[in-house]
């Protein structure tokens, strides 16, 4: 699949050429777009490679050269080999200086392609390891071996949170000097909190922004919402996201008799506007890197309720910016949601503390500056050698 014509006429900056590789075009849009645009403003020719999807053209039209490649999401040897060679061919033709991969499968295939193409600097960001407590021992071993293999030609391994950093260090995925905490951030200029005047006659709006896949653990949320309703609270749940499990989740909500409470909104570009109308944000993931959904809610002064898991526990301060509950403890989540529903002043106080935390700890401009410095340092080291 060829890059669209928009990619070749965007007036891209000259100099270092960076290729970010991620799985879904929607993830490229939500996770990479603003950061890549900021890199290009800084004079770096930053591009994106992702799976075909509705946001490839949109990213191109916003000035980001975007290449679509068929990346498998599960283990499929033939498709994996085909994707590696397609990516490597693009890297050689375009003389890519830095390959920066994200997520598990793109991280493995993209780094192998970068090695085969002779890319000078290969960087990977851990967005939560693919293996976790619920992964089978066999798959855990396979992914660990793959990470160790790729670590041999990874020049910098970046972690969004301290837990994954320690896992990478313990497993010796890369040499110590090639491992660094990078964190995560959002563009605060997009998020403008508004004064809220709760309407006691309206249901409380709970927003969950998460892909419909097992790691996001929506069934826990559905069970908690049913308990909240059983306790007599009037709520509505907005679900933002796409994924293969949507049809199954719609059936599940109907079977649980909460379909009239749950609205499936699909993928949305207007997250700040939705958060301005929401009262609580929730995330029931099994694991995270640093969850952007929580950062965005906190930036809009929306209190959060989430599972106490890797990544999220470094984002949400329990009892201050929201609440953390044990994974799969439906009763605890329902209790915390009821507490927030019943106490508008608590929601306001936690929301204000959340905004202050994001401003001090999770400003994307700082991440962009740090990454640009890492890229230049790696390339300078390569030239010196």
Q: How many C-beta neighbours within 10 Å does residue 176 have?
A: 7
Residues 228 and 140 in one domain: no
Contacts of 26 (CB under 8 A, 6+ apart): 53, 54, 55, 242, 267
Residues 275 and 139 in one domain: no
pLDDT in tens, 75-88: 899 999 999 999 99
SS3 168: helix
Q: Which of 65-79, 137-151, 153-167, 342-356 has the lowest mean pLDDT?
A: 137-151
Buried b (16+ CB within 10 A) or exposed e, 292-317: bbbbbbbbbbbbbbbbebbbbbbbbb
End-to-end CA distance of the chain: 36
* CATH, residue 368: 3.40.50.2000
Residues 138 and 228 in one domain: no
Residues 339 and 352 in one domain: yes
Cα–Cα nearest to 306, from 322, 289, 292, 330: 322
User: What gap in Å lies between CA 240 and CA 229, rounded to an integer?
Assistant: 21
Q: Are 258 and 281 in contact (CB under 8 A)?
A: no
Res. 234: pLDDT tops 70: yes
Residues 250 and 111 in one domain: no
Q: Are 285 and 312 in contact (CB under 8 A)?
A: yes
Give the whole-number percent of the chain exceeding pLDDT 70: 95
SS3 17: strand
273: pLDDT confidence band, cut at 50, 70 and 90? very high
Q: Per the structure, how many domains does the chain have?
A: 2
Residues 46 and 65 in one domain: yes
Per the domain annotation, does 201 fall within a domain? yes
Residues 317 and 346 in one domain: yes
User: What gap in Å lies between CA 183 and CA 161, rounded to an integer?
Assistant: 6
Residue range 31-39: mean pLDDT, rounded: 95
E strands, 228-313, where?
235-240, 262-266, 280-283, 304-307
Paired residues of 205 in beta bridges: 236
User: What gap in Å lies between CA 58 and CA 53, rounded to an integer?
Assistant: 10
5: pLDDT confidence band, cut at 50, 70 and 90? very low
Per the domain annotation, does 371 fall within a domain? yes
Residues 237 and 277 in one domain: yes
Question: What DSSP character marks residue 260?
Answer: T
Q: Are 311 and 160 in contact (CB under 8 A)?
A: yes
Output the pLDDT for position 143.
85
Res. 4: pLDDT tops 70: no
Output the pLDDT for position 82.
97
Domain span including residue 323: 189-361
Output the pLDDT for position 135.
63
Per the domain annotation, does 152 fall within a domain? yes
Per the domain annotation, does 44 fall within a domain? yes
Residue range 144-171: mean pLDDT, rounded: 95
12: pLDDT confidence band, cut at 50, 70 and 90? very low
Output the pLDDT for position 14.
53
Residues 331 and 372 in one domain: no
User: What gap in Å lies between CA 186 and CA 299, rounded to an integer?
Assistant: 9
370: pLDDT confidence band, cut at 50, 70 and 90? very high
Residues 368 and 355 in one domain: no
Output the pLDDT for position 200.
79
Output the pLDDT for position 9.
35
Give me the phi and psi of 82, to 5 degrees please.
Answer: -60, -40
Sign of CA dihedral 364, 370, 373, 374: negative
Residues 213 and 92 in one domain: no
In terms of residues, how long is the chain?
Answer: 385
Rounded to the nearest integer, the mean pLDDT of the chain is: 93
For 331, half-sphere exposure in the C-beta direction (CA atoms, 13 angstrom radius) is 0
Per the domain annotation, does 385 fall within a domain? no
Res. 342: pLDDT tops 90: yes
Contacts of 343 (CB under 8 A, 6+ apart): none
Res. 134: pLDDT tops 70: no
Res. 352: pLDDT tops 70: yes
User: What gap in Å lies between CA 123 and CA 128, rounded to an integer?
Assistant: 15
Output the pLDDT for position 199.
78
User: What gap in Å lies between CA 319 and CA 343, rounded to an integer?
Assistant: 14
Residues 235 and 277 in one domain: yes
Question: What DSSP character marks residue 186?
Answer: B
Per the domain annotation, does 299 fall within a domain? yes
């Amino acid at each position: 699949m060829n890059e669209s014509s928009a990619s070749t006429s965007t007036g891209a900056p000259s100099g270092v050429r960076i290729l970010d590789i991620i799985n879904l075009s929607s993830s490229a849009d939500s996770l990479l777009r603003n950061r890549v645009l900021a890199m290009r403003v800084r004079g770096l020719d930053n591009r994106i490679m992702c799976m075909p999807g509705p946001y490839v053209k949109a990213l191109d039209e916003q000035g980001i050269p975007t290449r679509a490649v068929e990346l498998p999401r599960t283990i499929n040897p033939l498709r994996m080999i085909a994707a590696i060679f397609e990516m490597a061919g693009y890297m050689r033709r375009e003389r890519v200086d830095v390959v920066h991969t994200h997520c598990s499968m793109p991280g493995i295939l993209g780094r192998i392609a970068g090695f085969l193409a002779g890319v000078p600097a290969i960087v990977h960001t851990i967005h939560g390891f693919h293996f976790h407590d619920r992964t089978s021992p066999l798959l855990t071993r396979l992914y660990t071996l793959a990470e160790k293999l790729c670590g041999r030609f990874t020049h910098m391994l970046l972690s969004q949170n301290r837990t994954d950093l320690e896992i990478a260090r313990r497993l010796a995925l890369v040499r110590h000097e090639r491992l660094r905490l990078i964190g995560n951030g959002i563009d605060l200029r997009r998020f403008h909190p508004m004064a809220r005047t709760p309407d006691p006659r309206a249901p409380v709006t709970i927003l969950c922004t998460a892909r419909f896949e097992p790691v996001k653990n929506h069934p826990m949320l559905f069970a908690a919402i049913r308990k909240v309703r059983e306790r007599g609270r009037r709520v509505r749940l907005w679900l933002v996201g796409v994924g293969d499990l949507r049809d199954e989740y719609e059936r599940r909500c109907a079977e649980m008799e909460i379909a009239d409470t749950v609205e499936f909104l699909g993928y949305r570009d207007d997250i700040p506007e939705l958060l301005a109308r929401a009262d609580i944000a929730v995330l029931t993931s099994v694991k995270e890197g640093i969850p952007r959904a929580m950062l965005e809610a906190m930036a809009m002064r929306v209190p959060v309720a989430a599972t106490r898991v890797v990544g999220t526990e470094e984002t949400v301060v329990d009892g201050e910016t929201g609440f953390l509950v044990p994974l799969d403890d439906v009763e605890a989540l329902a209790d915390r949601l009821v507490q927030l529903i019943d106490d508008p002043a608590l929601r306001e106080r936690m929301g204000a503390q959340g905004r202050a935390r994001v401003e001090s700890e999770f400003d994307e401009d700082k991440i962009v500056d740090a990454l640009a410095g890492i890229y230049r340092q790696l390339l300078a080291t390569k030239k010196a050698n």
